[in-house]
C-alpha cells in the first residue's frame, strides 16, 4: 500500500512563540527531532533556558489584565476561530503527529480529534464559568460565587500525545481569562509548533498564549518562577511526584500532575471473546503501548483451563498478526517506539521478565517491518505468561508493546491485586455480567474504568481521571475540573442600604 | 489486498466513490439527453463520500479500536472496470452504472457491518450511504426501462 504524503518536507529550525511573535531562543544548543520510522531528521529544536522562560512569563503577565477583561464571549470566539482552523488542517496535524511520534495515522487522527474536542468544550466557557447565587441568606442579604482567572499558567507536556495533551489544559485556562505558556516535549515539538501557527493565525492577542521549547532547565524555571500561578504536567511518576508536584507546591503554585500507570485489564469467563480480543489489541499495542491508558497486565479470571488456553491462544494469534511499519502506511497497525532509547528500555524489561522466570510466549524482539525502514525504533508485540505480581514486568511501567498475563481465581482476588498496585490510572473489565462490572467499578481504585472498553479515555467534557501514583493534585485536566483548576472562587455577601 | 485499519478502509471507500463520480460525469458527457440525471448522480456520490469521510474524521477517537476495527475487507471484491467505451450503447452503460451502484452499496454494507459496535457513527454513515445508493439504483432502473 502506498504511503500518505508527508507534510513535513524540510528540516525546520524551531523557534519559541513569545508575545505573538516567533522568536529565536537565547540558546545555541539544538537537539535533533527524528522521525522514528524512517530515522530521518525532521527538525532542530532549541533547548531553551531560564531567560526564555522569563520572556514568556513577562509577555503572559503583561497580556493578562487586558485579556482578563475581555468578555468570556469574546474569548470563546477566539476558540471558535481556532476550531475552524484546526478542522481545516486536520489531516496535516494528524500526519505531523505520526511523523514525529511514530503512531499510526488512525491514532494520529484520533489524537487530533480529541484535541479539537477540548477546544470545542472551551468555547462553552460563558456557561461553564458561571458562578451561583442565593438570595436572602439573611434579611435583604444575597450571597454569590464568582469564578475568576488567576494569571499565568503553564503546561509541561509529554512526548506521547504531542498535539492533544496541552489542549487538555490550555483552552480552559485561556478561555477563563488566564494567559498561558506551553512547553512541548523536545522529542516531539512539531505538533505544538503547527498548533501555534494556527493560534497565531486565529489572532489571539500577543502574550495570551506562548510556547517555549526546551527540557529540564525550562521545567525547572517554570516551576520556580514567581510569576506563574499554576502548572499542569503529564509525564512519568518520578518527575511528576518527586519534582513537579513538590517543587511547584513549594513555590505556592496550583499543580495537577498526571503521571505513570500500570493498567490491569480483566477478562471474566463470560466475556464476549472476539470483541474483547480486538479491544485488547488496541489497548496493549495501540500507540505501541506508549500511552498512560495502555493495557499492561492481562488478568484472566477463573480456574477453567480450557477457557484460559483458548482465550490466550486467540490473543497470541491476534497479537502476532499485527502489521508493523511506518504509520503513514494505512495498512499498518502498529508503528515504532518513539525513540531508540525507549526501545532499549522496553527490551530490557523483556530480558528482565525472562530472568525473573516469566514465560515469553511471543517475543517482540523478532519482528517483520512492512516496507524498507531502519529497525532502530521498531519492536514487535510481546506476551509473557506465568507472570506473578511481584515481578518487575507486572509492577513497573514498561511503556511499550508488552503484555503480562496473570491468572486469578475470582473477581475478589482480581480487585485485591489491582488495588495492591501502586498506580491507579486506568483499568478495564470484559464481562457480560452487570453485577460483576458494578462490583468492579465500585471497588477498584483507578481513576478511569472501562467496562468492555480497553482504552477508557474520557471525552473532553469529562475529567481525565487518575489515582494513587498516577495523579498528584486535586483537579484533573479536561472539562469542569479544568475550569475549576484555572479559576478561583470568590464569594460575595452583599447588602444594600 | 485486504484492509483492516479504519484509515485504509476510508481511503478505499473514497477511491470507490471518486471512481463512481468520474464514471457518471463521463456518462453525462456522452449522453447529453440524460446529462442532468448523470450529473445529479455524480453529485450524489460526491456528497455521500463527503458524508462518510466526515463521520470518520469527526468520530475517530483515541479510544476506538481504529487499527483493529475492521474484520478485513478485500479490495478485489469491489473492483469494477469503469472505462467508458465509445461503442457501448446507453443500455449497456446503464447496466454498468447499476453494477457500480451495487458494488459500492455492497462495500458500504460490508464496511458498516464490520465496524459496528466499534465506530458507531461511521457504521451508521455507511448504512446511510448504502440506502442512498438504492435510490440511485431506482433512478438508473427507470432510465434503463425507458431506454429498452
- B62/A330 CB distance under 8 A: no
A62-74 pLDDT, tens per residue? 999 999 999 999 9
Q: What is the mean pLDDT of residues A310-316?
A: 97
Distance from CA of A456 to the nearest CA of B (A): 6
Which helix or strand (DSSP H or E) is residue B2 part of? strand B2-3
Residue A188, number of CB atoms within 10 A of its CB: 27
The verdict on A240 touching B (C-beta cutoff 8 Å) is no
The per-residue pLDDT for A292 is 95
A335/A356 Cα distance (integer angstroms): 28
Looking at residue B114, its pLDDT comes to 82
Among A90, A107, A331, whose Cβ lies nearest the Cβ of B62? A107
Decide if the complex's ipTM is over 0.90: no
pLDDT at B71 (0 to 100): 64
CB contact A114 to B (< 8 Å): yes
What would the pLDDT profile of A391-427 be if each residue is shown by its tens digit? 999 999 999 999 999 999 999 999 999 999 999 999 9
pLDDT mean across residues, chain A: 97
pLDDT cut 90: percent of chain A above it: 99
Could you say which of A97, A292, A377, A446 is catalytic? A292
pLDDT digits 0-9 by tens, A352-366? 999 999 999 999 999
pLDDT tens string A323-372: 999 999 999 999 999 999 999 999 999 999 999 999 999 999 999 999 99
Are residues A343 and A377 in contact, defined by beta-carbon separation less than 8 angstroms?
A: yes
Which residues of chain B carry a pLDDT beneath 50?
none
Q: Supply the pLDDT for residue A175.
A: 98
Predicted TM-score (pTM) of this structure: 0.95
- Which one, of A444, A335, A277, A272, lies nearest residue B68 by Cα? A277
Cα–Cα distance measured from residue A295 to residue A363, given in angstroms and rounded to the nearest whole number: 17
Cβ-based contacts of B72 with chain A (< 8 Å): none
Question: Region A15-25: what's the mean pLDDT?
Answer: 98
Task: Please report the sign of the dihedral spanned by the C-alpha atoms of residue A282, residue A288, residue A294, residue A298.
Answer: positive
Q: Give residue-wise pLDDT tens across range A239-294.
A: 999 999 999 999 999 999 999 999 999 999 999 998 899 899 999 999 999 999 99
* pLDDT: which is higher, A383 or B71: A383
Partnered with residue A257 across adjacent β-strands are A233, A472
Whether A56 is a known active-site residue: answer no
At residue A151 the predicted structure's pLDDT band, cuts being 50, 70 and 90, is very high
Task: Tell me what pLDDT residue B105 has.
Answer: 96
Which of these CATH numbers, 3.40.50.10790, 1.10.10.60, 1.20.1260.10, 3.40.30.10, describes B2-147? 1.20.1260.10
B60, A106: Cβ pair inside 8 Å?
yes
Does B61 sit within 8 Å of A107, measured CB to CB?
no
Residues in chain A closer than 8 A to B74 (CB atoms): none
Burial label for A262, CB within 10 Å (0-12, 13-18, 19+), is buried
pLDDT of residue A22: 98
User: What pLDDT is attached to residue B68?
Assistant: 62
pLDDT (0 to 100) of residue A328: 98
Domain boundaries, chain B: 2-147
A27-60 tens-digit pLDDT: 999 999 999 999 999 999 999 999 999 999 999 9
Closest CA to A200 of A89, A109, A108, A101: A89
**Domains of chain A, with CATH numbers?**
12-259+470-495 (3.40.605.10), 263-451 (3.40.309.10)
SS3 of B22-65: HHHHHHHHHCHHHHHHHHHHHHHHHHHHHHHHHHHHHHCCCCCC
Q: Cβ contact (<8 Å) for B62 and A110?
A: yes
For residue A82, pLDDT beyond 70: yes
Amino acid at each position: 500500500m502506498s504511503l500518505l504524503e508527508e507534510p513535513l518536507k524540510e528540516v525546520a529550525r524551531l523557534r519559541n512563540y513569545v508575545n505573538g511573535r516567533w522568536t529565536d531562543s537565547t540558546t545555541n544548543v539544538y537537539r535533533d527531532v527524528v522521525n522514528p520510522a524512517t530515522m530521518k531528521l525532521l527538525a532542530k529544536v532549541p533547548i531553551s533556558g531560564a531567560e526564555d522562560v522569563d520572556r514568556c512569563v513577562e509577555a503572559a503577565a503583561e497580556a493578562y489584565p487586558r485579556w482578563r477583561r475581555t468578555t468570556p464571549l469574546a474569548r470563546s470566539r477566539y476558540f471558535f476561530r481556532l476550531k475552524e482552523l484546526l478542522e481545516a488542517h486536520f489531516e496535516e496535524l494528524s500526519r505531523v503527529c505520526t511523523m514525529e511520534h511514530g503512531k499510526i495515522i488512525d491514532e494520529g487522527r484520533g489524537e487530533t480529534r480529541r484535541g479539537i474536542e477540548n477546544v470545542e468544550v472551551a468555547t462553552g466557557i460563558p456557561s461553564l464559568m458561571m458562578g451561583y447565587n442565593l438570595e436572602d441568606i439573611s434579611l435583604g442579604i444575597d450571597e454569590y460565587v464568582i469564578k475568576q482567572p488567576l494569571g499565568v499558567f503553564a503546561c509541561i507536556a509529554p512526548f506521547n500525545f504531542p498535539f492533544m495533551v496541552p489542549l487538555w489544559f490550555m483552552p480552559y485556562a485561556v478561555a477563563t481569562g488566564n494567559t498561558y505558556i506551553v512547553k512541548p516535549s523536545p522529542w516531539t515539538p512539531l505538533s505544538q509548533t503547527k498548533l501555534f501557527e494556527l493560534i497565531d493565525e486565529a489572532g489571539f492577542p500577543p502574550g495570551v498564549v506562548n510556547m517555549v521549547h526546551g527540557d529540564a532547565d525550562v521545567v525547572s524555571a517554570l516551576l520556580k518562577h514567581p510569576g506563574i500561578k499554576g502548572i499542569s504536567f503529564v509525564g512519568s511518576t518520578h518527575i511528576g511526584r518527586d519534582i513537579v508536584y513538590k517543587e511547584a507546591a513549594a513555590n505556592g503554585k496550583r499543580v495537577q500532575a498526571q503521571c505513570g500507570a500500570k493498567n490491569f485489564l480483566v477478562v471474566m469467563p463470560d466475556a464476549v471473546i472476539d470483541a474483547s480480543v480486538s479491544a485488547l489489541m488496541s489497548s496493549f499495542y495501540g500507540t505501541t503501548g506508549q500511552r498512560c491508558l495502555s493495557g499492561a497486565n492481562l488478568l484472566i479470571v477463573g480456574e477453567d483451563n480450557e477457557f484460559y488456553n483458548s482465550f490466550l491462544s486467540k490473543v497470541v494469534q491476534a497479537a502476532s498478526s499485527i502489521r508493523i511499519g511506518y504509520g503513514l502506511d494505512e495498512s499498518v497497525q502498529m508503528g515504532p517506539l518513539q525513540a531508540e532509547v525507549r526501545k532499549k528500555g522496553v527490551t530490557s524489561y523483556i530480558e528482565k521478565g525472562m530472568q525473573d522466570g516469566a514465560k515469553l510466549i511471543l517475543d517482540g524482539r523478532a519482528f517483520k517491518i512492512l516496507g524498507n525502514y531502519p529497525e532502530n525504533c521498531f519492536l514487535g508485540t510481546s506476551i509473557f505468561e506465568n507472570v506473578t505480581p511481584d515481578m518487575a514486568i507486572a509492577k513497573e511501567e514498561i511503556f511499550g508493546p508488552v503484555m503480562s498475563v496473570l491468572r486469578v481465581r475470582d473477581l475478589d482476588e482480581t480487585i485485591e491485586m489491582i488495588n495492591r498496585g501502586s498506580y491507579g490510572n486506568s483499568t478495564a473489565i470484559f464481562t457480560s455480567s452487570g453485577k460483576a462490572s458494578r462490583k468492579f467499578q465500585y471497588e477498584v481504585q483507578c481513576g478511569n474504568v472501562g467496562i468492555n472498553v480497553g482504552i477508557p479515555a474520557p471525552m473532553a467534557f469529562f475529567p481525565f481521571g487518575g489515582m494513587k501514583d498516577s495523579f498528584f493534585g486535586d483537579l484533573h485536566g479536561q472539562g469542569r475540573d479544568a475550569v475549576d483548576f484555572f479559576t478561583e472562587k470568590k464569594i460575595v455577601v452583599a447588602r444594600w442600604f | 489486498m485486504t484492509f483492516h485499519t479504519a484509515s485504509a478502509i476510508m481511503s478505499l471507500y473514497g477511491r470507490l466513490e471518486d471512481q463512481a463520480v468520474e464514471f457518471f460525469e463521463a456518462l453525462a458527457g456522452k449522453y447529453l439527453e440524460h446529462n442532468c440525471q448523470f450529473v445529479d448522480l455524480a453529485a450524489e456520490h460526491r456528497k455521500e463520500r463527503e458524508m462518510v469521510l466526515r463521520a470518520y474524521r469527526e468520530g475517530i477517537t483515541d479510544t476506538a479500536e481504529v487499527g483493529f476495527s475492521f474484520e478485513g475487507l478485500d479490495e478485489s471484491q469491489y473492483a469494477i472496470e469503469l472505462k467508458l467505451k465509445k461503442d457501448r450503447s446507453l443500455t449497456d452503460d446503464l447496466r454498468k452504472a447499476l453494477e457500480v451502484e451495487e458494488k459500492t452499496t455492497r462495500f458500504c454494507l460490508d464496511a458498516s457491518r464490520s465496524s459496528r459496535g466499534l465506530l458507531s457513527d461511521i457504521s451508521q454513515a455507511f448504512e446511510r450511504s448504502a440506502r442512498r445508493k438504492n435510490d440511485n439504483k431506482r433512478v438508473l432502473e427507470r432510465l434503463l426501462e425507458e431506454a429498452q
